[in-house]
Structure 1
Amino acid sequence: MATSTKGYRITASTGIHKGDREYQQDQIELLSHPRVNGCMLGVVADGMGGRSGGRKASDQVMMTARQLFERYSPDHDDPPSVLKQILMEAHLVIKLTAISSEQEPHSTLAAFLINPNGECYWIHAGDSRIYHYHSNKLVKRTMDHSYVQTLVDRGELTEEEANVHPQSNILMGCLGAEEDPPGDIHFIEELRPGDTLLACSDGVWHYFSPAELGSVLSSLSPREATEFLIEKARSRAHGGGDNLSLVIVKVEPLGG
């Protein structure tokens, strides 16, 4: 996907792979606004809970995101409110699904909304991540709502130790749980040429350092980077890999 606006162009790509799991419970979307050029929404949802429970949960996230983004007006609506609405409505629908089924469906959420003027807002819950790079340098990333992240925050684990910790899959916040999900919002005043956004599930980020991701994202096109990261994560998983999903959006100078 490519779109140009305000002196730069945006190129983008999505990728999804089942990994070594029997079922695909991740879901991704990269939506262009139906009426407003240069406005887009990227969403990653990593579903959990039984064979079909996780897929039902991530389906609900995508359905909610599509419906609310379709109604979104960049001129009149408040982006953080819309992102929080996606989070809470999907959370409630997932909880209702749980009542009518045997499974316990849950899902993560990582979503970013880009306005035509280059403003970007993101929200996340769980351990799906969003990274913002400028060239190959990490500007900011989301912090996981997970047990090991709380240990890192307290200085009891390093990032590297957290990655291989036996309880690294325990989430402290997600959609569909008893408690309302955390919804951390971040604001980027203006995306500029050289900026890249990566949203991905833990099946991807688990296998790369921030420096490796920066190097790949800055040197390859979104399509090439998507294929490379999936292939490399698959080989590093040695047959034990999770579902993988990612959305890459790259801001490039016109004529670049």
Structure 2
Amino acid sequence: MTQAFRLIASTGIHKGDRDYQQDQVILLPHPRVNGCVLGVVADGMGGRSGGRKASDQVMMTSRQLFDSYAPDTDDGATLLRHIVQESHIVIRLTAISAEQEPHSTIAAFLINPRGDCHWVHAGDSRIYHFQDGRLLHRTADHSYVQALVDRGELTEAEANDHPHANILIGCLGAESDPPVAAHHIPQLRPGDVLLACSDGVWHYFTPAELASVLDSLSPREATEFLIDKARTRARGGGDNLSLVVVKIEAPKEEKRPPMFAQQPQFSLSN
């Protein structure tokens, strides 16, 4: 029997020290099924117009495909894979008339009413799964420096400060098909926290710092804190920032069915 739970969530976005915003983030409750949620972060690349067009296409495709998703009969992993593939195709078509070739990362997770979770990513936007203040799993970046880490040539700390840390080897809109790196959590439980974010956020925190913040603060408080602290640590050179936080809590009443309780979206601007 599936355990009942409630979801408390928040999103945040800030243009950082850039002249324009290329990140996009959404957190969508299913239009017909209570307890089903889709979270997506997209970090656009390719100049002012190109990068924003790419991340906008990811958001549009995600909304359209999620709207037709039937949690009781459809496969969540298939939905996320289709979001990646369809977004990639649309971005490639956009590139035909774009002044600068558009690309985007994607980090997307789907929570089903029965409590299982699927996620998928391409590029260096990340998803973290924390449980009771400790990291259980995170995505591995599709980047040049992550490949060096995987080969044992760099540590995680060295990779974070590497001069080529922003070079991707897989994303949406590139000439080659994007990687579709998937993960499945069979059952979420109270104490679990999901964080999806662009590199403008995670670049400035260790996993232990993220775990501590998310464990001790509400999603909205954590969103505010992480954006503010990343801005401070960037010292005037920060990238766009976007994140979505979902915390799993026990229901206030034992017989209460699974529900999605979204806090208001939090947005900072200069």
- TM-score, length-scaled by structure 1: 0.97
**2:61 aligned with 1:68, yes or no?**
no
Q: What does 1:13-28 correspond to in 2, within 5 Å? A: 13-28=10-25
1:166-217 CA-to-partner distances (Å, cap 9, x unmatched) read 0000000000000000011100001000000000000000000000000000
Q: Which residue of structure 2 aligns with residue 12 of structure 1?
A: 9
Offset of 1:250 from its aligned partner? Answer: 0.1
Q: Distance in 1 between matches of 2:141 and 2:222?
A: 23
The alignment partner of 1:51 has SS state of helix
Aligned partner of 1:55 in structure 2 is: 52
> Which one of 158, 171, 190 corresponds to residue 174 of structure 1?
171
Counterpart residue type for residue 209 of structure 1:
T
Q: 2:35 — aligned with what?
A: 38
What is the match of residue 266 of structure 2?
A: none
The 3-state SS of whatever aligns with 1:103 is: coil
TM superposition shift of 1:52 = 0.8
Whether 1:107 and 2:104 are equivalent positions in the alignment is: yes
- Please point out which of 226, 229, 236 is paired with 1:229: 226
**Superposed CA offset, 1:65-109 (max 9, x none):** 000000000111111111010001000000000001211100000
In structure 2, what is the equivalent of residue 163 of structure 1?
160
Pairing 1:62-211 to 2, within 5 Å after superposition = 62-211=59-208
Moved over 2 A (4+): none
C-alpha change, 1:120 and 1:136, in structure 2 (3 Å) is same
Larger RCO (CA under 8 A, 6+ residues apart): 2
Q: How much has 1:111 moved relative to structure 2?
A: 0.1
Structure 2 CA distance, aligned partners of 1:173 and 1:118? 30
Q: For the residues of structure 1 that align with 2:129 and 2:99, how far apart are their CA atoms?
A: 38
- SS of 2:47's equivalent in the other structure is coil
Unmatched 5+ residue regions in structure 1? none
Return 5+ residue gaps in structure 2 as ranges: 254-270
Partners of 2:223 and 2:123 in 1: CA distance: 22
Residue number among 220, 227, 242 corresponding to 2:239 in the alignment: 242
Aligned-partner Cα distance in 1 for 2:124–2:77: 20
CA-atom RMSD in angstroms: 1.0
- Alignment partners' CA distance in 2, 1:7 and 1:145: 35
Distance 1:66 1:88 in 2: 14
Task: Tell me the CA shift for residue 255 of structure 1.
Answer: 3.0
TM-score normalised according to structure 2 size: 0.92
